[in-house]
Amino acid sequence: MKLSNYRVLVWMICGCLILMGCAEKRSAVQLQLASAPWHFSETPATSMLSAVQSNATFTAPSDSSRFTIKMRVKLNPENVGSNVLNIPGVLNVRTFQHDQKDRKDQNYPSFPMPDGSVPVLEAALKLHPPLENEGALDMPIGIPLAMLKAPGGEHDIVLHFSGVRWSLYVDNELLDNDFPLGYPKWGEKSSWEINPLLVSKAEIFFQGAEPQKVALTKPRYAPEIQYWTPPGHNTWVGDVATFYHEGRYHIFYLFDRRGHKSKFGKGAHYFEHLSTTDLKNWIEHEAATPIEEQWETFGTGTPFIFNNKLSISYGLHTTRIYPKEKTSLPLQWDYYNKHGMTGSFRYDTIPGYPAGSTYSISQDGIANFKKTKILFHPCENPSVYTDPEGRLRMLANYGAKGTWESKSIDGGWRSVNPNFPPGGDCTFFFRWGNYDYVIGGFTGFWSKPASAAEDKFVDGVKAGLDFYNGLNVPAVTEISDRRFLLAGWIPMAGWGGTLIVHEMIQSPDGRIGTKWMKEIIPATHKERSLSKDLKEDASFSTGSSSFLLTFDVEPSQDMTDKIGALLLGADGENNACEIQISPEAKTAQYAKGNLQRFSNPEKSLREGGSPTAARNYAIENLQNTDKPFTVRMIVKYQDKFGGSQIDTEIAGQRTMIAFRPDLKVEKLLLRSKGTGIRNVRIAALKN
C-alpha cells in the first residue's frame, strides 16, 4: 500500500472513531410518556340536548356524586365571549378572551395565538365544601384554545366529575383537571341549556360513563429530560425525591397544577414517577401515590428499601384542609406521649381524617406502588432512610423535628436526636466517602466526618460553603460509579417549575460542588463562534431565545476584577439579567441587568440572600477560578415559562440557576474589568 493511501485510510478510520465517539456523547435523550387518549364507555344518557332542542330538565339520582357531560362544540378563536353550556347553580361553560399577561392559576398565556391573543374555553363547577361556614366555591378548569392542533372547528369535549377529580377532555385527550372539595347541589329538577350556535349535541350521564385509557401501539416521547415539565399549560414539577435501586435511577416528583392552587389552594400534590437505567432513556410510570380521596393532599418524603421492598414515604397534609382536632394527629401524639414511641395505625380503621406519615410499596421492585394505609409517625414530611450502619432512620419535618429511629417502618419510632435537624422544611441525609451530610429544602446544610459523633455536624451555610444553586427541595442520590446526583425544581409558577438534575463533585476536604450532568445536556444545533478574543465590551445577537453559550475566562490577580454576561430582550434592560463572575473574589451572581455598568452586589445565602427564590442572588467561595476556566450557560425560553431559565456552570465546579419572568433573550453583552474573555461560542438548542 502506498504511504499516501495508508495515511488516507488512517485518517478515515480516525475520523469514523471520532464521529462515533461524538455520536455516543451526543446521543439523544428521550422520555417515554405514560400519556394516552381516553375513551368513555357508552351508557344511556340521563338527558340529551341538540341544536333543535337546546334546553331541558332532568332529575339527578339520589347518589349523584359522579357525572359526565359529553358535547360536540364548534370553537372559533377569533370570536369568543359566549356561554357554551349552563346548569344554573351547578355548572357554567364559556369561552372568553383572557388577559395576555395574567398567568395566575391557569397559566393560559402559555399557548398564545399567532397574534398574541389568548382565547380560552373554561368550565366552572360550583362545589359546596364539607366544612361548616364555608360558602359555595367555583372550581374552574379550562384550556387556551391555541394548545389544540386545530383551535377552530368542531371538537368533542367531555367534562367528568368523579368526586375526586374534575376533568376536561378535548378530542379524547385529558387537558386539565382539579381535585374537588365538596360536591355540587342538584335540585329536585335540574334545568340545563346549550348555545345552539356552538353546540350541536350534549349528553349528561350519572354514574355510568367512566374514562378508560386507550392502549397505544406507539408510545409518545418527550425529547429531553433536563428542564422538563409535564405536558400541558399549567403543569409543573414540585418537590423531588430520588433513589437508585438495582441499576435504576428513580425520580419521584410532586405533580403540581396551578402553583399549589389546586383543591382551592390546598395543593393537591401527589407523587408522579420517572426512572432510567442508562440516564438517556427515561420512562414515565403511573403515579406512585395517586389521589383517591377528597381529603388527600401529599407532602414530601423519600424512597427507601425495607424488607427488601422498594417503598416511598410521604406525608398526608390533611391539616391544610381540616383543623388538627378533626384529624388522626391527636391520637398519634397521645400514643407517643404515653409510650415514648410512635404507634402503628391503619388509617381506614381509626376515627378522624388521616394525617401524618405513611408509605407505599412497589409491587414489582420498579413501579406499581400500592398504599399501605399505615400511619407510622405524626410528622407530615417524613425523610426515611437506611443509614450506612444499617439503621432505619427518619428526619422529621413539618409538624415534628429531629432524628428518629425504629426497628420497623410500621411504628415504634423513637427520638434519638430531638433537636437536629431542626425541622421545618424537607431535610435529607447522605454519606459520601468519609463525610456525612444533611441538607434542607431551602436552607440549612450541615456536614461532619463520618467517624464523628452525631452532635458534631457543622453548619456549612454559616461558613459560606453550602451548594445551594437555585434548586428547591434538592434530593441527593448515589448512582453507579460512585457518582452523586442532585435533583430538584425551580419556582416558575408558585410551588412548581422545571425538573433539573446536576451532578455533584466532592473535594478531599469534604467540600461539595456541582456541575452539569453530561448525559442529559440538551441537544444543540451547530455551534458558531462569536469572538476569539474580546478586547473590549461587545454585543452580539443570539439568533435564538434558547441557546448554549460557552466562553473561557483568564482571570487577573485583582480582587475587584470581574466579567459580566448581560442577557437582553426586546425591551432593553427592563427585564435584563446579568451573570457576573469575580474570579479572584471567588463570587458569582445573578442580578438585574444595567446597560451602563455592572450590576450591584447581591447577597449569598450566608449573607441573607435567597438562592432558592431563583431570581437575584450570589454564591461565594468558588473553586478553580484563580486559573483559566470555562463558563457554560444554557438559556431556555418557552411560552409556558413566560420567561427564560438560565443555568450556568462555572469552572466545572459550581452551578447556579435562575428564572427571569418576561425575559426572551435577543442580545448578549459581554464585558470585563481586567479579566480576559476568549473563545466565545453559541449554539441554539434543538428543543
Tens digit of pLDDT for each residue in 476-505?
Answer: 999 999 999 999 999 999 889 999 999 999
Element holding 337 (H helix, E strand):
helix 329-339
Question: 455: helix, coil or strand?
Answer: helix
Domain 38-213: CATH architecture, name and number where available: Sandwich (2.60)
E strand map for 262-411: 270-276, 281-285, 298-299, 303-306, 309-316, 345-346, 356-362, 369-371, 374-375, 381-386, 392-397, 403-406
The confidence band for 422, taking pLDDT boundaries of 50, 70 and 90, is confident
pTM of the model: 0.94
- 512-535 pLDDT, tens digit per residue, is 999 999 999 999 999 999 999 998
Q: How many CA atoms lie within 13 A of 531 on its CB side?
A: 21
Per-residue pLDDT, averaged over 183-200, amounts to: 95
Q: Which residue has the cell 476584577?
A: 561
Do residues 119 and 141 lie in contact, with contact meaning Cβ atoms separated by under 8 Å? Answer: no
Distance CA 264, CA 202 (A): 28
Residues in the chain: 687
Fold entry, domain 528-684: Jelly Rolls (2.60.120)
Distance CA 499, CA 486 (A): 11
Question: Which pLDDT score is estimated for 47?
Answer: 96
Q: Which three cell numbers stand for residue 680?
A: 466565545
E strand map for 149-308: 153-161, 166-170, 173-178, 190-194, 199-206, 211-213, 220-222, 235-245, 248-257, 270-276, 281-285, 298-299, 303-306
Per-residue pLDDT, averaged over 452-480, amounts to: 95
Do residues 344 and 376 lie in contact, with contact meaning Cβ atoms separated by under 8 Å? Answer: yes
Distance CA 545, CA 522 (A): 14
Per-residue pLDDT, averaged over 323-336, amounts to: 97
Element holding 96 (H helix, E strand):
strand 91-98
Domain 38-213 shares a fold with domain 528-684 = yes
- In sequence order, what are the beta bridge partners of 48? 203
Q: Which three cell numbers stand for residue 657?
A: 440557576
Q: How many helices (H) and strands (E) does the chain have?
A: 3, 51
Per-residue pLDDT, averaged over 666-678, amounts to: 96
Question: Which pLDDT score is estimated for 4?
Answer: 43
Q: Which CATH superfamily is domain 221-516 in?
A: Glycosyl hydrolase domain; family 43 (2.115.10.20)
Distance CA 256, CA 235 (A): 6
Average pLDDT over all residues of the chain: 94
Determine how β-strand 499-506 pairs with β-strand 512-516.
Answer: antiparallel
Q: Which residue has the cell 395574567?
A: 102
At residue 493, φ and ψ (nearest 5 deg) are -130, 80
Return the amino acid letter for 584: E
Which sequence spans correspond to the domains of the chain? 38-213, 221-516, 528-684
Torsion of CA 101, 103, 104, 105, to 10 degrees: 150
Residue 116 has pLDDT above 80, yes or no: yes
Distance CA 237, CA 334 (A): 36
Q: Which three cell numbers stand for residue 594?
A: 444595567
Question: Which pLDDT score is estimated for 2?
Answer: 41
- In sequence order, what are the beta bridge partners of 128? 183
- Return the closest-CA partner of residue 283 out of 352, 340, 368, 385: 368
Q: Which residue has the cell 408522579?
A: 272
Question: Which pLDDT score is estimated for 23?
Answer: 37
Do residues 663 and 566 lie in contact, with contact meaning Cβ atoms separated by under 8 Å? Answer: no
